A = this chain, B = another copy of it.
Amino acid sequence: MLSNRKTVHVEWGDCDPAGIVYFPRFFEYFDACTNALFEKAGFGKPQMLKTYGLLGIPMVDTRAQFYAPASFGENVEIETRIVQWGRSSFQVEHKLYKSDVLLAECSEKRVWTMKDARSQNGMRSEPIPEEVKARFA
Contacts and interface: CB of A to CB of B under 8 A. Distances in A.
- How many copies of this chain does the complex contain? 4
Contact of A72 (B24, B46, B65, B71): B46
A32 B16 contact: no
A13 B18 contact: no
Contacts of A22: 12-13, 31
A88 B34 CA distance: 33
For chain A, the bracket of interface size reads 35 or more
A23 B137 CA distance: 27
Interface string A113-130: 100000011110000000
Given A11-B31, A24-B31, A46-B73, 18 more contacts: A11-B32, A12-B31, A13-B31, A15-B17, A16-B16, A16-B56, A18-B55, A22-B31, A24-B27, A24-B28, A46-B71, A58-B69, A59-B66, A60-B66, A61-B63, A61-B65, A62-B63, A68-B121
